[in-house]
Amino acid sequence: MIALLFPGQGAQTPGFLHRLPDHAQVRATLEQASEVLLHDVLQLDTEAALRSTISVQLALLISGVAAARALHAEGVTPSVTAGLSIGAYAAAVVCGALEFADALTLVRRRAQLMEQAYPSGYGLAALVGLNEPQVGALLAALRAEQHAEVYLANLNGPRQIVVAGSDAGLNLLLARARQAGARRAERLAVSVPSHCELLAQAAQELAQLASTLHFHTPQIPYIGNRNARALRHADAVRDDLVENIRYPVRWHDGLCLMAELGVRCFIEAPPGQVLTGLLSESLPELGALALASDGLARTVARVRVYQAEPL
């Protein structure tokens, strides 16, 4: 079984749409997105444009769908899809639960709501070397003692955790995390406090738009962000997409679930190699390919090798 993974915000780098594989399906996807958005989407990945949450999230969606379509054209079809945060929208498109044009509309509104809610002074930080109970204790202490706005956001690995909050709260947390033994504690290139209760109102408004769009029964399982479960119904996918800005993402649990389902080869859509890195650290016995570094032809060739190997 093959899983196709889609990265979240923070994986972007200037020019990443221009570095997508030179493939007819990629070109067609870029053209379709430009027609829907009434804007040349190849302008979304400039250094200046990527300062906007809206540009980043749209570009990541487009990149993921374009890569998946190119892989499909070359005979690589996933058995399951999963996306981290904004990556979940590409996963929903690829599993057949959401039309690409509707995903573009929904993601644009998602990013607008997030940006409007917290235009500055908030963001995300990564902690490596502390587990969930340790981080939870630090967060609880800061909220109680300092009234700090800091919250659990992503559980990317047993000891790789992302937190969300205000700049002041995150600075306090990073200092305490280092004192508690964190190997790494640093801010991420994300300017909004995703996956926590600070975005509860934004999630409610996003749900109103999502309710007007048609969701389909997934053709293959979609792994949810909030509960790390295999979702097989249209309404469940809709709810997960809407709620993933309000609740922590249990990414590591999702990887473990996919392995239990029988996935042996994981492919990360561009850009970057963050998700394959997490996979290699947590489940090193499984195959991890990153399209951004391996390239389309090599990825397809390596997938065929995995498919030919006995279980």
Active site residues: 85, 195
Q: Of 54, 44, 58, 55, nearest to 15 (Cα)?
A: 44
Structure tokens at 234: 């249209």
Q: Under a CB-based contact definition with an 8 Å cutoff, are residues 156 and 131 in contact?
A: no
Q: Under a CB-based contact definition with an 8 Å cutoff, are residues 4 and 219 in contact?
A: no
∠ CA 93-198-97, nearest 5°, is 10
Rounded Cα distance between 287 and 9, Å, is: 24
